[in-house]
A and B are shown apart, each in its own frame.
Chain A
């Protein structure tokens, strides 16, 4: 049972009217973040979510480097979504050089990022999110009672990792993807083997959905708009424009509609669209593109009982679970249809230019932009991660959530719900987590 369903009388209710909560170290997220929350007379007077990750300045590190080095360097932004950064960087560089990759290269890049999404979602759902709902401090602590669930998680993680490793050489920081093609191509037998593994593990993905459908979550609505790529040809991965329900933007013009700003307290930038907050990720993708899901994913969506569009951020986890099924189906399709041809890496002619790489990655839409001079040297770089785009929305949602539960829950449960909310966005503070150490300071 989830903790949501209990109805305990909270002895400390009266104390909740005035609270100062500092979550110095949010656990079970990628990277380091903190939250400062003050409540006076039942109203939130301060709510600041900040990345406290040491700065690494990747956009500065690639300056002066060659065009074929950007993806190796920016891969290190994030371990769990390193393939995403690699493909975003390569796409941006190729865009700057006016080069269009072959269909085979594009399909393999898609397969790589799909594999990464399967392992990223599985890791997040089981190891970072689920323990909150089942009332455990960690997935490892669940082992005695939930061994089969953990084995299922690891089987899914392994299936995703196998795709990444077979296509790119290893589980993280892929080596074989490069500007102009693929340094070492997988064989037809490799794809055949992946297909078999994916078919075997699909049932585990379906069971994951069924498990997450049973979890109860608070009923709140975010005020932020959702955004994702929207592609006429498929459930968007690399193609299409950046869209909400109301409007679409051309990716190359992203700077006209996305603005980054700094909060002096945070090492991650905040991002707004036309001065309004928005969110990206699985829920945004489902809101926009659910009609293009695989038929089994669609069935599961129906089974979930969730009506789209949804603006409940807690639904993001459920959409991630269903998305694993869709990703497995899409990966199987690629493995089945792709006939590997021996394509050496293209030598791309150099020219000065600007390029934008934009793709859907586990946590939302990822942006890379580079400017090259005529010798292929990088003179400008800009990277906007999904977590940076979600940060403001996450923070503002806390302001929506806390008043709604302030009088009915214990302080421990309020903190738990806040942590759940943050984790439902699957934030990556390396890209921008690790743990919420909670200090209550009563005023």
Chain B
């Protein structure tokens, strides 16, 4: 969960102008806002909702205090959209994994071109593919609400913090901290390729609670030990292709050092064996 620190002593009396926009994505993060079923109607009254095209016909283009962006940049139109939103916003919030890390669509950067070349059904006249990338590779992002999907209560906490004049600070410990608190069996111990040790928490270890190993959707944790993670996964019998594929599925672009570390640790293992 997001913690918050006070930056303004007196909360603003004017309702903040807020917009929710989606670029290329699955609409799941925007739905996660709406799926706060018990709170959404009250929450809407506390903000000045200027735009939310997913559920609104009238979307006002003007200066916003907060713009939440769902999705990643995957077309020229997306790129123009995020630039426009940046110009209009005091604060830009990347909402969800696509906006924060590029999520699964950005995994394409690490797959073979022949895997999707035949799917290039979109030689669309006015739409050009751009390299699938998270929002912060194109514009300055002020806040991140990571996760695929983000925890819906986390979105709520974020907005409430803002309303109280506080600025939310991201959760910095790895998924393992909450996972242990939740009393789960360690999935690495039972041979599953869990990326909890190197992944930013704040999700309440929702996947592991449900029996699924962590795939790293919230991106790398601060101070992660990538080398040790790779070593453990190799010991569990996973080959380097599998390890790389897994680590890159949700956050490949946030792990630019991965090739280097894989190579380096391999050399180390080689030297030890000689």
Contact = CB atoms under 8 A, between A and B. Distances in A.
Q: Does A pair with B?
A: yes
Interface string B24-35: 111111111011
A183 B125 CA distance: 45
A76 B212 contact: no
A61 to B, nearest CB: 6
A266 B122 contact: yes
B116 A57 contact: yes
B41 A172 contact: no
Contacts of A119: 35
Contacts of A59: 116, 119
B244 to A, nearest CB: 11
Nearest to B96: A79
A435 B57 contact: yes
B122 A139 contact: no
A153 to B, nearest CB: 9
B152 interface: yes
Interface string A24-47: 010110111000000000000000
Contacts of B105: 54, 56-57, 61, 76
A207 B206 CA distance: 35
Contact of A137 (B22, B57, B129): B57
A27 B210 contact: no
Interface in B65-109: 71-75, 77-78, 103-105, 107-108
Contacts of B57: 27-28, 131, 137-138, 435-436
A79 B249 contact: no
B35 A60 contact: no
B183 interface: no
Interface residues of A, number: 74
Interface string A116-131: 0001000100011001
A117 to B, nearest CB: 15
A267 interface: yes
Nearest to A72: B215
A141 to B, nearest CB: 8
B59 A435 contact: yes
A172 B26 CA distance: 11
Contact of A435 (B38, B56, B117): B56
A54 B78 contact: yes
B21 to A, nearest CB: 8
A371 interface: no
A156 B118 CA distance: 41
A66 B242 contact: yes
Nearest to A185: B211
A169 B212 contact: yes
B124 A52 contact: yes
Interface stretch (B7-15, B47-55, B221-229, B257-265): B47-55
Contacts of B117: 60
Nearest to B106: A56
Which of B59, B71, B125 is packed against the most chain A CB atoms within 10 Å? B59
Interface in A46-100: 50, 52-61, 63-66, 69, 72-73, 76-80, 82
Interface in A334-350: none
Interface in A169-213: 169-176, 178, 182-184
13 contacts: A31-B27, A32-B24, A52-B75, A60-B118, A61-B111, A69-B249, A127-B55, A138-B56, A169-B211, A175-B206, A176-B212, A183-B210, A262-B121
Given A31-B27, A55-B120, 10 more contacts: A54-B72, A54-B132, A55-B74, A55-B75, A55-B121, A55-B122, A57-B108, A80-B28, A140-B52, A435-B59
Closest 7 pairs (CB-CB, A-B): A79-B28, A60-B116, A169-B210, A183-B211, A54-B74, A54-B24, A184-B211
